[in-house]
Amino acid sequence: MLDSRVTTIKGVGEALEEKLNQLHIYTVRDLIYTFPSRYDHHQILPLSELIHEQKATIQGTIVADSLVSFFGKKKSRLTFPLQVGDVIVKVIMFNRHFLKTQLQAGKTVTVTGKWDQYRQQLTAEHHFLGEKGPDEPIEPVYLLKQVVPSKRFKKLIKQALEQVEGQLDEFLPDTYMTKYKLISLAYALKQMHFPESFKHLKQAKRRLVYDELLLFQLKLQAIKKFNRERTTGVKKQPDFELVQQFIHALPFTLTDAQMKAMKQIQADLTSPYRMHRLLQGDVGSGKTIVAAIGIYLTHTAGSQSALMVPTEILAEQHYQGFCQLFKDTLHIELLTGSVKGKKRREILAGLASGEVDVVIGTHALIQAEVDFDSLGFVVIDEQHRFGVNQRKVLREKGMDPDVLFMTATPIPRTLAITSFGDMDVSIIDEMPVGRKPVETFWVKDTMLDRILAFIEKEVNKGHQAYIVTPLIEGSDKMDIQNAVDLYQQLAVYYDSRVLIGLLHGRMTNDEKDAVMKEFTEGKRDVLVSTTVIEVGVNVPNATVMVIYDAERFGLSQLHQLRGRVGRSDTQSYCILIADPKGDVGKERMRVMTETTNGFELAEYDLKLRGPGDFFGKKQSGLPEFRLADLVEDYRTLETARRDATDIIYGDLLDNDLDYAPLKQHVETILKQYQQGFD
Ligand code: ADP
Ligand code: MG
């Protein structure tokens, strides 16, 4: 019944159904779970509790007959003095002159409207005669986009609730109902739509938020467990001695955090489970080497590895780095969209025969034509740049390699346990020794001369600089123009004292590579660029990052950009040119100058922008919750996660009848997952 069409509700025909569909309401359940977006408060309060400029409801006795004055065309203003307690306030109503006969001296009336503390007056929108007051002290307000009138909608909900009464079976086990003192599902739903009091409403919300988060966590945990059990993946047998030698030969010592992450990866690789792990670490924390060790482990165990990155520039750079790192021990190839013809065929053949040990590339790697001899390990760098789909493609290709996702965007804990709850997580929360935090300044563009002089000074010391201009979706042409213009202006300004390069997304790959190569080799001092360089680019000699119109970027993105400098033991600088209008914008710039901790910035960004915006909606793969708020309901989220783990890994699901509804729920989820609806 709950899942039947809305037309099963009395009074809903095809025409109304169509309208409800516009609100994404298809079933009775959808209707009942369409909650008010807010509640207006009509509770009668004493004057002392009213707040200036806010909506309020007061009750009193009219002291003198209403006065009406007309102004403009057909506009009117009705006023009367109202005695509330010992005070007489003025009530004003616009365009209600016809009420003059009703609102007479001696009558008791309840009025709702905006309260003006200083003038002691209320501009009323509603009034109710008599002492009874408003019918709905708490008025639910639905977001109906004018598709259905609100009165009609409320009637529908009432009807629906009546019709399914008795079918809203409790699905939470008693244990949790008692432990958290939750109200029943049926009662909670009723209170959401027809709240008796704010206290009831709060209880209802608490109950339903828990439901939502528990079901979500159950899904993640169930899938995680399922994946673990399904894939008795290949248990690799690496040559640990060789790997130790390799680590000892590195030009630096691994940080403790890197060591720990490496051990976790090693444990996954050598276990019968299939790795599904996220490696999280701030920019410059040294994730690549950890992945490289994993790749070497895999190689000594006789399997191939693939490293997938979001841009060609990054692929090229990793390729160079890996070639240097592994010299002659590994056969490494670069495979991107621009590798064509004979070379491409050779690489593909090498992968299929097993002659190639490691392939590095963009998403071209997971295209249909690519076959491996024995792909054992896949590393996906900057994973948030990849859609959920690309991960799925790998799986659908029937390949079950161990997979390591890496991200330099520090993911707030809140998001990490939700969107990546089905992964294991390793965190590198420690920087290699000797790194100096990047000094960050926020200036207005009136300081440009000084900035340019500063860049020149750094260049004269043998260092390099980036200048980034924003690129905005939809109008990128204009912004590339910005980079181009700036490039030309600077070329004139610096004459030939400073050599400038230009990099943007409209250049061909060959052009981009050429510029990057020149910059990496120090043949260009300054690189004027759009955010193409945001991800992963590593030129340790660069010490200055100037970001134009910094207020247009998210904090995490600014942090990424800033991470392009400070990659050696030389002091580096980040200069944010910004003139933000609002307080939030100013606050964001201030925060950037005050912390270089990516996790702190990420938490802050999440609070400011909300989870949807955090990665960009499409990429986030985050569910849209009806009630839960990942920031506000963080504690409930953690509780729900703990409970879900207990439920999934415990034996009550199978042995306790009280858990039967949840068991059924989990079974449905897994069935859908296997059919590819995840
Ligand atoms: P990210 O985590 O941002 O991908 P990288 O892996 O690119 O960082 O590492 C940044 C730089 O730090 C590289 O030049 C790398 O060689 C160097 N590096 C990595 N680990 C260490 C370490 N333990 N000590 C010193 N330098 C290191
Ligand atoms: Mg990196």
| Residue 310 and residue 268 share a domain | yes
How many CA atoms are closer than 13 Å to the CA of 432, on its beta-carbon side? 17
| Residue 336 and residue 446 share a domain | no
Asked if residue 621 has pLDDT above 70, the reply is no
Q: What is the mean pLDDT of residues 46-65?
A: 89
Q: Quick one: pLDDT band at residue 605, thresholds 50, 70, 90?
A: confident
For residue 368, the domain's CATH number is: 3.40.50.300
Answer yes or no: is 648 within a domain. no
The pLDDT of residue 662: 94
Across all residues in the chain, what is the average pLDDT? 86
User: Hey, whose CA ends up nearest to atom 9 of ligand 1?
Assistant: 286
Ligand 1 atom with the shortest distance to the CA of 428: 2
Q: What is the mean pLDDT of residues 186-206?
A: 93
Instruction: Look at residues 630, 615, 603, 619 and name the one whose alpha carbon lies nearest to residue 213.
Output: 630
For 384, the 3-state DSSP assignment is helix
Choose the residue to mutate in 538, 561, 564, 568 for probing ligand 1, maximizing ligand atoms within 8 Å of C-beta. 538
Ligand 1 atom with the shortest distance to the CA of 563: 3
Helices (H), 563-651: 583-594, 598-615, 617-620, 634-649
Q: What is the mean pLDDT of residues 47-76?
A: 89
Are residues 137 and 104 in contact, defined by beta-carbon separation less than 8 angstroms?
no
| Residue 249 and residue 350 share a domain | yes
| Residue 452 and residue 421 share a domain | no
Q: What is the mean pLDDT of residues 616-637?
A: 68
Which residue range forms the structural domain that includes residue 309? 240-428
| Residue 444 and residue 570 share a domain | yes
Check residue 575 and give left, alpha or beta (phi > 0: left; psi -120 to 50: alpha): beta
Q: What is the mean pLDDT of residues 160-167?
A: 88
Instruction: Look at residues 166, 177, 45 and name the one whose alpha carbon lies nearest to residue 111.
Output: 45
Q: What is the pLDDT of residues 93-129, one digit of tens each?
A: 999 989 999 999 999 999 989 999 999 999 998 888 8
The pLDDT of residue 616: 47
Q: What is the mean pLDDT of residues 594-613?
A: 75
β-sheet bridge partners, residue 577: 443
Spacing, Cα 41 to ligand 2 middle (Å): 52
Spacing, Cα 387 to ligand 1 middle (Å): 26
Answer yes or no: is 163 within a domain. no
Asked if residue 472 has pLDDT above 60, the reply is no
Are residues 549 and 470 in contact, defined by beta-carbon separation less than 8 angstroms?
yes
Spacing, Cα 672 to ligand 2 middle (Å): 35
The pLDDT of residue 474: 41
Q: 334 or 630: whose pLDDT is higher?
A: 334
Ligand 1 atom with the shortest distance to the CA of 281: 2
| Residue 82 and residue 47 share a domain | yes
Instruction: Look at residues 316, 286, 335 and name the one whose alpha carbon lies nearest to residue 516.
Output: 316
Spacing, Cα 287 to ligand 1 middle (Å): 7
The pLDDT of residue 497: 93
- Following DSSP, what letter does each residue of 206-239 receive, concatenated? HHHHHHHHHHHHHHHHHHHHHHHHH---------
Answer yes or no: is 559 within a domain. yes
Answer yes or no: is 512 within a domain. yes
Asked if residue 677 has pLDDT above 70, the reply is no
Torsion 545-336-379-405 (CA) sign: positive
Q: What is the mean pLDDT of residues 246-251?
A: 94
Total domains in the fold of the chain: 3
Q: What is the mean pLDDT of residues 483-499?
A: 90
| Residue 520 and residue 379 share a domain | no
Choose the residue to mutate in 252, 253, 309 for probing ligand 1, maximizing ligand atoms within 8 Å of C-beta. 252
Q: Is the distance from the beta carbon of residue 259 to the nearest atom of ligand 1 less than 6 Å?
A: no
Instruction: Look at residues 198, 189, 19 and name the one whose alpha carbon lies nearest to residue 626.
Output: 189
| Residue 397 and residue 358 share a domain | yes
Q: Which residue has the tokens 């006789």?
A: 302
Q: Quick one: pLDDT band at residue 473, thresholds 50, 70, 90?
A: very low
Asked if residue 571 has pLDDT above 70, the reply is yes
Boundary residue ending a domain (97, 113, 136)? 136
Q: 126 or 280: whose pLDDT is higher?
A: 280
| Residue 506 and residue 387 share a domain | no
Q: What is the mean pLDDT of residues 254-261?
A: 96
Answer yes or no: is 621 within a domain. no
CA 379-383-389 angle, 5° bins: 95
| Residue 262 and residue 120 share a domain | no
Boundary residue ending a domain (403, 428, 453)? 428
The pLDDT of residue 678: 44
Answer yes or no: is 12 within a domain. no
User: Hey, whose CA ends up nearest to atom 17 of ligand 1?
Assistant: 286
- Following DSSP, what letter does each residue of 472-527 receive, concatenated? -TT-HHHHHHHHHHHHHHHHHHHTTTS-EEEE-TTS-HHHHHHHHHHHHTTS-SEE
Q: Is the distance from the beta carbon of residue 288 to the nearest atom of ligand 1 less than 6 Å?
A: yes
The pLDDT of residue 136: 67
Structure tokens at 73: 């065309």
Boundary residue ending a domain (115, 136, 157)? 136
Are residues 357 and 332 in contact, defined by beta-carbon separation less than 8 angstroms?
yes
Q: 128 or 492: whose pLDDT is higher?
A: 492
Choose the residue to mutate in 247, 255, 289 for probing ligand 1, maximizing ligand atoms within 8 Å of C-beta. 289
| Residue 301 and residue 353 share a domain | yes
Q: Is the distance from the beta carbon of residue 410 to the nearest atom of ligand 1 less than 6 Å?
A: no
Spacing, Cα 578 to ligand 2 middle (Å): 27
Q: Is the distance from the beta carbon of residue 564 to the nearest atom of ligand 1 less than 6 Å?
A: no
| Residue 446 and residue 422 share a domain | no
